Structure 1
């Protein structure tokens, strides 16, 4: 199915990387559900730029399966067809500032639980609630947003990194389970992005250090991460599933 025929749910799409992914799908002709939790204004503004009813901004807490189900039902009513493509981008509140994160001796289970709930439970809810529509369409694409930190843990983001590593395992088990139904499940893992709300607290010298360590000598942008999500949803990615594509300028090489 061409991207222009897909109905795409992007979670956490009001700002930052999520907004870049939503715009990329809209620019490719898709119809898009711009999910948000608190940032109603930016989400509705983004949806309004699409015109002709090609985007709808819908509030839902992705950790709540009931809210996710209601969001998908509203999206189907709006577009007249089910969501075929899910991009799991929503992130529990997090600041990418290593100095402010809990170290090993301070880390609490509550911090881990918050990240697992937002990352793993959120992705599980969206996939499960979208599955009936994907099955009716005979087509499905799931793109999970990961991180290169579980391959290169240079900063002590214990809770965030552990949750994203678990999401990669879920990505691969879902890929095996859903592959016979023409549903692919993949992950796009970035490094530090320049610049999103989550990375706004990152010191400039950290950006410079990471950039100098990459073959491309620069920091990845949200738009470049969005390009990889488009690939997995496009016909060019039709035989790719269970994979983790690292988009970080070559800092981490598989």
Structure 2
């Protein structure tokens, strides 16, 4: 079974700004009903929903909280119908600044769990909350957001990269279990994006170095990464599951 994007109801986590906002905008442009999830960025999320029109709405929920995720899904269902699609983009507070990153000698387990709670626990909460509705209709699309850093840890962000690697494993095992229900699960892994809140602290020289290292000779934008999400949720991606698509201008050949 396939559904055109215009017939889908999509939850995008962490969609108030940055890549999440670009994904929400791309989906809305294709006619989907889009639930813009936010944790603290209320003003940005509500402003984006107002701009994108009456088929979008902002919904507050901390995806680390199982009860909050169940409430989110219930509220989205009341507003737009049963969610057909989830894009798990939410990122715990983080800055891509290699000089300020915690080094191995200073890294705490709290640093690790802070990343794991959003990336991994958040994904588990979402999958468990939407699975029954997707299985009942025989259609579901789940897209997680990863990173090219576990192929090429040019800057060793230990906590962030480890959490995203764990998320890739869950993406693949979930794809194996959910496939018989008509649910695909895939990952889109960007590199450094120009520019999001998380990459705003990145020195300009790093952007220049990344651009010079890619075959396309430029840094990928949030809008370009969002295009890859559209592929996975569209009918064009109907036979693709358990995959990790790297969208970084060719910096990493996966």
Secondary structure of the residue aligned to 1:112 is: helix
Question: Aligned-residue CA RMSD in angstroms?
Answer: 0.6
The gaps in structure 2 that reach 5 residues or longer are none
**2:62 equivalent in structure 1:** 61
Cα distance in 2, alignment partners of residues 18 and 46 from structure 1: 11
| Aligned counterparts, 1:128-147, within 5 A | 128-147=128-147
Secondary structure of the residue aligned to 2:142 is: strand
| Aligned counterparts, 1:72-91, within 5 A | 72-79=73-80, 81-91=81-91
> Shift in Å at residue 136 of structure 1?
2.2
| Aligned counterparts, 1:39-188, within 5 A | 39-51=41-53, 53-79=54-80, 81-188=81-188
1:218-243 Cα shifts (integer Å, max 9, x gaps):
00000000000000000000000000
Cα distance in 1, alignment partners of residues 194 and 128 from structure 2: 32
Secondary structure of the residue aligned to 1:100 is: coil
Aligned length, in residue pairs: 252
Question: Does 2:12 match 1:36?
Answer: no
Cα distance in 2, alignment partners of residues 208 and 130 from structure 1: 41
Cα distance in 2, alignment partners of residues 106 and 49 from structure 1: 43
Cα distance in 2, alignment partners of residues 215 and 185 from structure 1: 28
Cα distance in 1, alignment partners of residues 89 and 123 from structure 2: 9
1:93-117 Cα shifts (integer Å, max 9, x gaps):
1000010011111111110010001
> Shift in Å at residue 46 of structure 1?
1.0
**1:201 equivalent in structure 2:** 201
Cα distance in 2, alignment partners of residues 44 and 11 from structure 1: 14
Q: Contact between 1:87 and 1:142, CA under 8 Å: does it hold in 2?
A: yes
Secondary structure of the residue aligned to 2:99 is: helix
TM-score, normalization by structure 2: 0.98
Cα distance in 2, alignment partners of residues 185 and 61 from structure 1: 22
The list of structure 1 runs, each at least 4 consecutive aligned residues, that deviate by more than 2 angstroms after superposition, is none
TM-score, normalization by structure 1: 0.98
Q: Contact between 1:102 and 1:156, CA under 8 Å: does it hold in 2?
A: no
Q: Contact between 1:191 and 1:248, CA under 8 Å: does it hold in 2?
A: yes
* Greater mean alpha carbon deviation, residues 133-142 or residues 148-157: 133-142
Cα distance in 2, alignment partners of residues 128 and 56 from structure 1: 22
> Shift in Å at residue 127 of structure 1?
1.1
> Shift in Å at residue 201 of structure 1?
0.3
Cα distance in 2, alignment partners of residues 68 and 104 from structure 1: 33
